[in-house]
Structure 1
Amino acid sequence: MIRRAVLADIPRLQVLLGQILSVHHAVRPDIFKASGSKFSDQALKELMFNDQRPIFVYEDDKGELLGHLFLMIQEAQGSAMMPNKTLFIDDLCVDEAARGQKIGETLYQFACRKAFEWDCYNLTLNVWNANAGAVNFYERMGMTPQEMRMETIIHPHLENEQ
């Protein structure tokens, strides 16, 4: 079952956010810390009551929270952009112990339904190129690249100083 997150979900959300951070650290240790969370408990509380940035959770029939979906409604910005509304997946995670059960696919399809329901033009997200598993997953879901962000590392030695 997918439902809106509640305050009691925060400890479990933090575990899942830690798993995502661990994956990101594995592929880009120069950017991501080895442990921690993208959001503080307070930030999660605030997001839970923000209808522009809803958090949904996937709960199994035993009441165990096995995944989450952080969404963000975005409006087109700038005079050169066509007016439209986008549903942005800020975070999609399935517990590493529950992967392979189509939970990620279920959460993704839920996001597609919400985008349709909320009259969004498209559904977008960011994914790190080095995270091959996530890239393959989103391609299987039918997503295609919209734009590419490129980089040049200027100070590689700074990685060791932080």
Structure 2
Amino acid sequence: MTDLHIRRAEERDIPELHRLLREVLEVHHNGRPDLFKTGTAKYTNEELAALLADDGTPVFGAFADDDATLLGYAFCVFQRHEDSNILTDVLTLYIDDICVDEPARGRHVGTALYRHVLDFARARGCHNVTLNVWSCNPGAQAFYEQLGLKPYKVGMEQLL
């Protein structure tokens, strides 16, 4: 897709980030209303501003040519297990949250965003890129598998 560019999100993007964060929350609420609230904000403006300013939590946005309309985002977090008795000390870039705006789906925004995250992680010497996907979102899981991601652990539950 040629009518988009990807850059680090900035404070001026907070309203657009909130808009897409609400989309993700609704998907999760619809899939697991027992776990996810509806109509709330994941972050305050101050929390988002702090995330955007922290190099340990890079947030990338895929923007339309106007550089204001957010088509998708990836919230990332660097992780490592220093001084662990059982885990090796490798640098991981964890994708905490990823979203493509519903009207932009099918236009390869998610693929471009994910490839950007991979290039960023490689340039910083990361061993891997990881993410979690809720089982109530099989479309997202299929998308990630199409990009080449493979399960490396499985979370399980028993409702009581």
Provide the C-alpha distance between the structure 1 equivalents of 2:96 and 2:143, rounded to a whole number of angstroms.
16
**In structure 1, what residue type is equivalent to 2:45?**
D
2:113 equivalent to 1:135: no
- Counterpart contact for 1:76–1:86, Cα < 8 Å: no
Ranked by relative contact order (alpha carbons within 8 Å, sequence separation 6 or more), the top structure is: 2
Match of 2:159 in 1: 153
The runs of 5 or more residues in structure 2 that have no matched partner are none
Q: What secondary structure is seen at the aligned counterpart in 2 of 1:30?
A: coil
1:46-73, CA deviations, whole angstroms, 9 ceiling, x for partnerless residues? 0011000011111111332111111110
Q: TM-score under structure 1 normalisation?
A: 0.92
Aligned pair partner of 2:124 in 114, 118, 129: 118
Matched length = 154
**In structure 2, what residue type is equivalent to 1:43?**
E
- Counterpart contact for 1:85–1:119, Cα < 8 Å: yes
Aligned pair partner of 1:9 in 7, 10, 13: 13
Deviation at 1:37, TM superposition (A): 2.3
The runs of 5 or more residues in structure 1 that have no matched partner are 155-162
Which has the higher mean CA deviation after the structures are superposed, 28-37 or 130-139? 28-37
Match of 1:65 in 2: 70
Aligned pair partner of 1:29 in 5, 18, 33: 33
Q: How high is the sequence identity, in percent, across the aligned residues? A: 42
Aligned pair partner of 2:87 in 81, 86, 89: 81
